[in-house]
């Protein structure tokens, strides 16, 4: 019976693996980008993306921010021989839950959450994926632990701002910088299906600690509105990371390739708002500028609620001003 041929992505993976094994590509060398793969092998972008994902999962390559996908350093066993994985029966005495979580964060920071797998994290240690299951139940638990551990790296300012607005602004900036360091984190968090993450909850509690005079329902709405704004604005960080890996172009290079297309659209005269900023500084609108603008406007709006006169206080003053008989009316 004739064997079926391997799928196209597998043939390309094997071809690139051969280049690595023969020394044509050495550690640190860039491997073909998804665009180069589509051109060289005549496959679709989805197939090219699967090629790089498979190579990462097998520990052959790694993503380097600002560079692209490069050949990974081979893992070595205790005897010095190169090894990508150990067999399940071999020792993993050097592993711990914390080390596994930190390795997962390292992979997700460099390659995005979609590239994360138990096998990919295991490749960081040169062990089989089965060795990880002694420390975490699976990928879902691993990502949850990663997210909570990321929040543990937040350093709260001392002294802490005492004014409610300054405290909320400081908390929002701490979240923003956290999402910058971990581009995958914002998209992982959910407002509709919140995860049990004590460290993240602690940051939100700290952020809201100086808001006074609101009921608990209003307070939680203020907290989640702020969290949702920062999270939504930062959600593009992972998209940009993955797009750079797939195309081999950073944001500036990609925008440069799109410039002629946008110029043609704006030339129609149908988009005056966009045309109004087309000749300004290219960095006029950035993720940071959107964050700063939106945060200021959001806190302005919250101030109309938080700083508004309290009805209860007004009633208390009215009772104090009336005579003793009127107080019982």
Spatial contact of 105 and 115, defined as CB atoms under 8 Å apart: no
Spatial contact of 207 and 168, defined as CB atoms under 8 Å apart: yes
Measured between alpha carbons, how far is 84 from 67 in angstroms, rounded to an integer?
A: 23
Spatial contact of 214 and 312, defined as CB atoms under 8 Å apart: no
Measured between alpha carbons, how far is 315 from 310 in angstroms, rounded to an integer?
A: 9
- Which tokens sit at 130? 């089965």
Q: Between the CA of residue 239 and those of 12, 112, 236, 247, what are the distances in Å?
A: 25, 8, 5, 12
Measured between alpha carbons, how far is 10 from 317 in angstroms, rounded to an integer?
A: 78
Torsion of CA 288, 102, 114, 138, to 10 degrees: -140
Spatial contact of 169 and 299, defined as CB atoms under 8 Å apart: yes
pLDDT computed for residue 246 by the predictor = 61
Q: Judging by beta carbons within 10 Å of its beta carbon (0-12, 13-18, 19+), is residue 108 exposed, middle or buried?
A: buried
Residue 94: count other Cβ atoms within 10 Å of its Cβ: 10
Measured between alpha carbons, how far is 266 from 252 in angstroms, rounded to an integer?
A: 20
Measured between alpha carbons, how far is 24 from 17 in angstroms, rounded to an integer?
A: 10
Measured between alpha carbons, how far is 99 from 101 in angstroms, rounded to an integer?
A: 5
Query: Strands, E, within 45-143: which ranges?
Result: 61-64, 68-71
Return all residues near 39 (Cβ < 8 A) that are at least 6 apart. none
Q: How many CA atoms lie within 13 A of 271 on its CB side?
A: 11
Q: Between the CA of residue 74 and those of 26, 267, 271, 283, what are the distances in Å?
A: 10, 52, 52, 40
Classify residue 133 by its DSSP letter: T
pLDDT computed for residue 150 by the predictor = 92
Spatial contact of 72 and 64, defined as CB atoms under 8 Å apart: no
List per-residue pLDDT tens for the chain, 329 residues long.
445 678 889 999 999 998 888 888 887 778 888 878 888 898 887 888 888 888 888 888 887 765 678 888 765 444 433 444 444 444 455 789 999 999 999 998 888 888 888 888 988 888 888 889 889 988 999 999 999 999 988 989 889 888 999 999 999 999 999 998 998 998 888 877 777 788 888 999 999 999 988 889 999 999 999 999 999 888 877 666 666 656 666 666 656 676 777 677 777 777 777 777 766 665 677 888 889 999 999 999 999 888 877 665 444 443 344 444 433 33
pLDDT computed for residue 21 by the predictor = 85
Classify residue 33 by its DSSP letter: P
Return all residues near 37 (Cβ < 8 A) that are at least 6 apart. 12, 43, 47, 48, 51, 52
pTM > 0.75: yes or no? no
């Amino acid at each position: 019976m004739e064997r079926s041929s391997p799928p196209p992505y597998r043939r390309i993976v094997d071809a690139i693996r051969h280049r690595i094994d023969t020394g044509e590509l050495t550690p640190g060398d860039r491997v073909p980008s998804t665009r180069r793969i589509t051109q060289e092998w005549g496959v679709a972008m989805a197939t090219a993306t699967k090629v790089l994902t498979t190579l990462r999962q097998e520990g052959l390559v790694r993503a380097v921010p600002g560079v692209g996908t490069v050949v990974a350093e081979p893992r070595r066993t205790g005897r010095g021989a190169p090894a990508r994985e150990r067999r399940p029966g071999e020792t993993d005495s050097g592993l711990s839950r914390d080390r596994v979580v930190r390795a997962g964060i390292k992979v997700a920071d460099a390659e995005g959450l979609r590239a994360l797998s138990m096998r990919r994290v295991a490749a960081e240690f040169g062990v089989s994926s089965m060795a990880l299951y002694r420390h975490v139940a699976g990928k879902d638990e691993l990502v949850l632990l990663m997210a909570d551990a990321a929040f543990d790296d937040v350093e709260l300012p001392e002294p802490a701002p005492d004014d409610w607005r300054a405290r909320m602004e400081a908390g929002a900036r701490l979240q923003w910088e956290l999402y910058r360091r971990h581009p995958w984190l914002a998209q992982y968090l959910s407002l509709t299906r919140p995860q049990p993450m004590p460290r993240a909850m602690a940051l939100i509690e700290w952020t809201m600690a100086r808001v006074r005079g609101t009921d608990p329902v209003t307070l939680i709405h203020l907290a989640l509105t702020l969290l949702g704004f920062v999270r939504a604005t930062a959600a593009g960080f992972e998209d940009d990371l993955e797009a750079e890996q797939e195309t081999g172009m950073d944001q500036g290079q990609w925008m440069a390739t799109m410039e002629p297309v946008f110029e043609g659209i704006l030339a129609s005269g149908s988009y005056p708002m966009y045309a109004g900023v087309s000749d300004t500084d290219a960095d006029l609108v950035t993720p940071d500028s959107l964050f700063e603008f939106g945060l200021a406007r959001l806190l302005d709006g919250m101030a109309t609620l938080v700083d508004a006169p309290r009805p209860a206080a007004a009633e208390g003053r009215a009772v104090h001003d009336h005579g003793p008989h009127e107080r019982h009316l």
